[in-house]
């Protein structure tokens, strides 16, 4: 068991340094533009969904622009949906006709994505859904998620699930064999009895480890986004994954196993309220919220995988682009407090968060204070204080009304506690002795 955890730690070293990634949900569902679960929510049959396949032609798809945006935002890796639950493949699979190369697009969009993001120096990953609402051998009637779950005419009597598993494993083999080095394979997701060895999980992971020895794998061969599987136990299975993947939330105290030892984890979040493109959804997180969620993740030893949903033409929505560029401006000045950083071991301060790297502590000041900002450190523990964004010298000071507080330190911004130099997140760099 120690060997499993040791190998996991080695594989995820780059991942824990990168801290910030881009998730990209894109497929046929961008055309109805009502989110990636539209087939399930609206009970759309294969026949009624087929017109979107016949129409798919993203004439403004420019993966190089996507990659430049991700890099400008300060992201260090990206994960694209090679196949989502609807079964449509953005890659040129030899095992199905239900793929982008057979649409008017006529292109292997996965290959273009990988080439573009690698060219920008970003790590690359592919998402692959374990579910498949298009495949004839995937359970239909009675399945919790399938669009035809309530239609008795779509019974499962003639369906061969083992044949579907051969297809699933075959497509994963294609992705791991035909597209060069992949840094992440992101499986999604397990539910009810559709978990673990139902997917032949041991064989699947063994294949992945053989074909791509350095690849890292999420935990969803065992779980969905609301639970974590055996990765949080002291006895993780072979297919427990390399990192946990809480969805649409940051765990209150980060992620540890049952012994209290930290495990790698990544919060995956949407930028608005949908993963796939939704034309009516303009409820976007602003740049300040994104930065603060990212810092919260890092302060708890985690990553943030932030999603964009390109539209039917292949463009990332303007609202998303604007937000990510603003995040990038903050990261350009303060990314040092994110990359390679983790928790500090100090209690969360009332005014923000701490991240830490070696003997450097980063105080993320997010709330204005009526007085000086208190640090749970002795003054003699601190060697140097600087404003991270511009290197301006700061110093510790003890307010006149805190003379009785002997075991703490305080700082202000050159005698002022407000307004903050950066209302998004003002980062104070403290070099510790």
Residue 417's domain comprises 352-432
What is the structure's pLDDT at 128? 99
Q: Which of 288, 304, 337 is the last residue of a domain?
A: 337
Instruction: Give the span between the Cα atoms of 39 and 50, in whole angstroms.
Output: 11
Q: In this structure, are 412 and 356 located in the same domain?
A: yes
20 located within any domain: yes
Q: In this structure, are 21 and 70 located in the same domain?
A: yes
**Strand blocks (E) in 73-217:** 77-83, 123-129, 184-188, 216-217
Q: Which of 281, 308, 337 is the last residue of a domain?
A: 337
The CATH number of whichever domain residue 390 belongs to comes to: 2.60.40.1180
Q: In this structure, are 228 and 265 located in the same domain?
A: yes
Q: DSSP secondary structure string, 194-245?
A: BSGGGGTHHHHHHHHHHH-TT-EEBSTTT--TT--GGGGSSS--TTS-SBB-
Q: In this structure, are 162 and 255 located in the same domain?
A: yes
Summarised one tens digit per residue, pLDDT across range 264-285 is 999 999 999 999 999 999 999 9
Instruction: Give the span between the Cα atoms of 117 and 63, in whole angstroms.
Output: 8
Q: In this structure, are 360 and 292 located in the same domain?
A: no
CA angle 105, 284, 282 (to 5 degrees): 65
Q: In this structure, are 289 and 364 located in the same domain?
A: no
User: Number of folded domains in the chain?
Assistant: 2
Q: In this structure, are 257 and 162 located in the same domain?
A: yes
Summarised one tens digit per residue, pLDDT across range 49-73 is 999 999 999 999 999 999 999 999 9
Q: Which of 310, 337, 364 is the last residue of a domain?
A: 337
Q: In this structure, are 375 and 310 located in the same domain?
A: no
Distance set, CA 192 to CA 215, 221, 223, 248, 405 (Å): 27, 12, 9, 21, 55
Query: How many CA atoms lie less than 13 Å away from 375 in the CB half-sphere?
Result: 26
Instruction: Give the span between the Cα atoms of 197 and 262, in whole angstroms.
Output: 26
Summarised one tens digit per residue, pLDDT across range 321-337 is 999 999 999 999 999 99
217 located within any domain: yes
Question: How many residues are given for the chain?
Answer: 433
Q: In this structure, are 332 and 362 located in the same domain?
A: no
DSSP 3-state assignment of 384?
strand
What is the structure's pLDDT at 1? 56
Per-residue pLDDT for 243 more than 90?
A: yes
The CATH number of whichever domain residue 89 belongs to comes to: 3.20.20.80
Percent of the chain with pLDDT over 70: 100
Closest of 420, 381, 415, 376 to residue 395, by C-alpha: 415
pTM reported for the whole predicted model: 0.97
């Amino acid at each position: 068991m120690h060997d499993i955890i040791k190998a996991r730690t080695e594989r995820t070293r780059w991942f824990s340094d990168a801290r910030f990634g881009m998730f990209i949900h894109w497929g046929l569902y961008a055309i109805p533009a009502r989110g990636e679960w539209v087939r399930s929510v609206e009970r759309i049959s294969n026949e009624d969904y087929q017109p979107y396949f016949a129409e798919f032609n993203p004439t403004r798809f420019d993966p190089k622009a996507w990659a430049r945006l991700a890099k400008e935002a300060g992201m260090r890796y990206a994960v694209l949906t090679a196949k989502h639950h609807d079964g449509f493949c953005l890659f040129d699979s030899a095992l199905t006709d239900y793929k982008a190369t057979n649409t008017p697009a006529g292109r292997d969009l996965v290959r273009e994505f990988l080439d573009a993001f690698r060219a920008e120096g970003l790590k690359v990953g592919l998402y692959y859904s374990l579910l498949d609402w298009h495949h004839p051998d995937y359970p239909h009637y009675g399945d919790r998620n399938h669009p035809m779950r309530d239609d008795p005419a779509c019974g499962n009597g003639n369906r061969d699930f083992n044949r579907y598993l051969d297809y699933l494993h075959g497509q994963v083999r294609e992705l791991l064999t035909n597209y060069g080095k992949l840094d992440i394979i992101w499986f999604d997701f397990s539910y009810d009895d559709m978990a673990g060895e139902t997917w032949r999980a041991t064989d699947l992971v063994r294949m992945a480890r053989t074909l791509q020895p350095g690849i890292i794998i999420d935990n969803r061969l065992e779980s969905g986004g609301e639970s974590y599987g055996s990765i949080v136990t002291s006895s993780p299975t072979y297919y427990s994954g390399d990192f946990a993947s809480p969805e649409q939330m940051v765990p209150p105290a980060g992620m540890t196993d049952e012994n209290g030892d930290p495990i790698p984890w990544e919060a995956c979040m949407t930028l608005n309220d949908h993963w796939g493109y939704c034309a009516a959804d303009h409820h976007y997180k602003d740049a300040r919220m994104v930065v603060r969620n990212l810092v919260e993740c890092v302060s708890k030893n985690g990553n943030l995988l932030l999603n964009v949903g390109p539209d039917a033409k292949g463009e990332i929505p303007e609202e998303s682009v604007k937000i990510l560029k603003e995040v990038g401006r903050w990261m350009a000045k303060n990314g040092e407090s994110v990359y390679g950083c983790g928790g500090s071991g100090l209690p969360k301060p009332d005014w923000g968060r701490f991240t830490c790297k070696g003997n450097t502590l980063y105080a993320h000041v997010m709330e204005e204070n009526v007085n000086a900002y208190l640090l749970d450190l002795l003054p003699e523990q601190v060697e140097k204080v600087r404003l991270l964004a511009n290197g301006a010298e700061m110093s510790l000071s003890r307010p006149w009304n805190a003379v009785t507080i002997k075991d703490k330190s305080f700082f202000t911004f050159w005698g002022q506690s407000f307004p903050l130099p950066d209302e998004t997140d003002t980062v104070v760099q403290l070099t510790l002795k």
